[in-house]
């Protein structure tokens, strides 16, 4: 940029904070909901089904979990349109508020005994609004990081928003573990489950403070100066439909693996495994294993700057395929084997999730980057994550074999590998400089 010296640019700590804080809240909200769906919502919102068959109540709760994912493409189109038209900063602030208000309302919602079927309707509306807000969050945060990054450190900078995932996981699972240990299961079922949702308001206030202080990214400002911002970004995205579709399939396994590890395995270990783990025991093991998630996000991003995003993603997806075929036998009442399952699984999750912060945005030019990266990311959420807990629960129930969940992950891994081999990485003059 010819005027680069005269334009204010955020410092690295400001970039880290602005890109990481929203995704940390995003994943915190999602994890709080996934824990509640796995542990409490079956009884609270589907009491008749839960009394008849606890697994059926849990499956219904997991279907409400999927509502957020189904709403995400609409959020991607909405926030992608404004993110590519008016800028990253303003769009991210609105996305954060939409997400935070919806999560807070879930914490205030009466159950089925108070409102009847209306409680389920309101729960699904809140979950859909969460999805709309979440859809605009990750892609905008990834652009804040990568559009401020030096060319040789773009994947490293792209790891900043992705590191929000283990931070959100640790906060959500840590708070639920603390509350469950302090209040006990009876109080948690009655009212304690609400506290994590209500506490999200504090995180949103912090996030808004950080986001309002950030400046627009240099690459978007350059596009504005050169009159390269389009009036209808979604229409301009149509020539890139192959990149959107292949990016979706390439990322699908990332979501499937994550929600099998974080949501389904919790429900399985506490409710189905014989003998079962207690809620506290399994939450504690998940909190330890998520450290590997954070470490491998950072490590694989460093290597993807050196070796290339595609090389790292293909290698990690192949390793995930092997994991899928053999790891499910570790899910038995044995702390050592379960920790091996969780730690290896979350390490692979970090390897899949880390490089995508740079990989997906690099598939699209500046004028449709928010729309393209966001739509790929959120369609992958539907493909891989929306029904992963419900599918896994149904597979185990119908086959009686926990290995069937591994077959499901193996199919998703194969689809991701095919997409990765087919993708031709596009170039953009802004990113290249």
pLDDT per residue over 195-208, tens digit each?
999 998 988 888 88
DSSP letter string over 50-94?
A: HHH-HHHHHHHHHHHHHHHHHHHHHHHHHHHHHHHHT-HHHHHHH
Segment 40-52 shows an average pLDDT of 91
Quote the radius of gyration of the chain (alpha carbons, Å): 21
Q: What is the mean pLDDT of the chain?
A: 88
Domain definitions of the chain by residue range: 10-210+217-432
In this prediction, residue 196 carries a pLDDT of 94
Q: Taking 70 as the threshold, does the pLDDT of residue 258 lie above it? A: yes
Q: How far apart are CA 160 and CA 121, in angstroms?
A: 36
In this prediction, residue 1 carries a pLDDT of 40
pLDDT per residue over 82-93, tens digit each?
888 888 888 888
pTM score of the predicted model: 0.83
In this prediction, residue 425 carries a pLDDT of 65
User: Exposure of 99 by Cβ count < 10 A (0-12 exposed, 13-18 middle, 19+ buried)?
Assistant: buried
8-state DSSP, 386: I
Segment 3-31 shows an average pLDDT of 74
Check residues 345 and 229 and name the one with the higher pLDDT. Answer: 345
Segment 357-378 shows an average pLDDT of 90
Where is mean pLDDT largest: 89-103, 200-214, 226-240, 279-293?
Answer: 279-293
With bands split at pLDDT 50, 70 and 90, how would you rate the model's confidence at 224? confident
Phi, psi of 428 (to 5 degrees): -135, 135
Tokens linked to 229? 């911002």
Where is mean pLDDT largest: 55-64, 213-222, 224-233, 399-408?
Answer: 399-408
In this prediction, residue 426 carries a pLDDT of 58
Where is mean pLDDT largest: 41-55, 313-327, 354-368, 384-398?
Answer: 313-327
Tell me the residue ranges of DSSP E strands in 268-309. none
Measured N-to-C along each axis, helices 12-39 and 88-108 cross at an angle, to the nearest 10 degrees, of 30
8-state DSSP, 124: H
Q: Taking 90 as the threshold, does the pLDDT of residue 279 lie above it? A: no
Selected from 1.20.1250.20, 3.30.70.380, 2.60.260.20, 1.10.3720.10, the CATH number assigned to the domain covering 10-210+217-432 reads 1.20.1250.20
Q: Taking 90 as the threshold, does the pLDDT of residue 178 lie above it? A: yes
Q: Taking 90 as the threshold, does the pLDDT of residue 65 lie above it? A: no
In this prediction, residue 215 carries a pLDDT of 83
Cis peptide before 275 (omega within 30 of 0): yes
With bands split at pLDDT 50, 70 and 90, how would you rate the model's confidence at 381? confident
Q: How far apart are CA 37 and CA 35, in angstroms?
A: 5
Q: Taking 90 as the threshold, does the pLDDT of residue 107 lie above it? A: yes
Q: Per mean pLDDT, which range of 7-11, 125-129, 385-389 is the poorest?
A: 7-11
Cα 213 to the chain's mean position, in Å? 25
Q: Which residues of 183-217 are buried (b: 16+ CB within 10 A; e: fewer)?
A: beeeebeeebbbbbbebbeebbeebbebbeebbbb
132 contacts: CB under 8 Å, gap ≥ 6: 71, 72, 74, 75, 78, 98
């Amino acid at each position: 940029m010819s005027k680069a010296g005269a334009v204010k640019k955020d410092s690295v700590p400001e970039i880290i904070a602005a890109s990481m804080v929203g995704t940390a809240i995003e994943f915190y909200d999602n994890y709080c909901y996934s824990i509640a769906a796995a542990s409490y919502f079956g009884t609270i919102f589907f009491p008749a089904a839960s009394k008849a068959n606890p697994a059926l109540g849990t499956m219904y709760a997991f279907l409400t979990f999927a509502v957020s994912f189904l709403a995400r493409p609409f959020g991607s189109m909405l926030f992608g349109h404004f993110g590519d038209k008016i800028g990253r900063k303003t769009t991210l602030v609105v996305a954060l508020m939409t997400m935070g208000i919806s999560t807070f309302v879930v914490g205030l919602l009466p159950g089925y005994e108070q409102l009847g079927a209306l409680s389920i309707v309101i729960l699904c509306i809140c979950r859909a609004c969460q999805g709309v807000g979440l859809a605009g969050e990750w892609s905008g945060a990834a652009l804040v990081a990568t559009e401020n990054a030096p060319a040789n450190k773009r994947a490293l900078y792209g790891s900043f928003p992705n590191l929000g995932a283990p931070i959100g996981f640790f906060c959500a699972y840590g708070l639920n573990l603390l509350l469950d240990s302090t209040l006990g299961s009876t109080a948690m079922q009655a009212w304690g489950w609400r506290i994590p949702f209500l506490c999200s308001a504090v995180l949103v206030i912090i996030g808004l403070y950080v986001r309002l202080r950030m400046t627009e990214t240099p690459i978007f400002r350059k596009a504005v100066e050169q009159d390269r911002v389009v009036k209808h970004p979604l229409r301009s995205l149509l020539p890139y439909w192959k990149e959107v579709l292949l990016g979706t399939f390439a990322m699908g396994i990332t979501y499937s693996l994550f929600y099998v590890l974080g949501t389904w395995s919790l429900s399985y270990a506490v409710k189905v495994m014989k003998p079962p783990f207690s809620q506290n025991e399994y939450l504690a093991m998940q909190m330890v294993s998520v450290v590997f998630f954070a470490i491998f996000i950072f490590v694989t991003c460093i290597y993807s700057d050196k070796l290339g995003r595609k090389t790292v993603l293909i290698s990690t997806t192949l390793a995930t395929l092997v994991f899928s075929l053999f790891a499910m036998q570790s899910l038995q009442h044995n702390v050592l084997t379960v920790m091996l399952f969780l730690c290896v699984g979350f390490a692979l999750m970090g390897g899949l999730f880390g490089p995508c912060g740079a990989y997906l945005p690099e598939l699209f030019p500046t004028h449709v980057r928010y729309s393209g990266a966001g739509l790929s990311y959120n369609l992958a959420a539907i493909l891989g994550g929306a029904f992963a807990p419900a599918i896994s629960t149904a597979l185990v129930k119908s086959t009686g074999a926990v290995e069937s969940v591994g077959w499901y992950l193996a199919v998703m891994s194969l689809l991701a590998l095919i997409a990765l081999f087919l993708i031709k990485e596009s170039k953009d003059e802004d990113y290249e400089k």
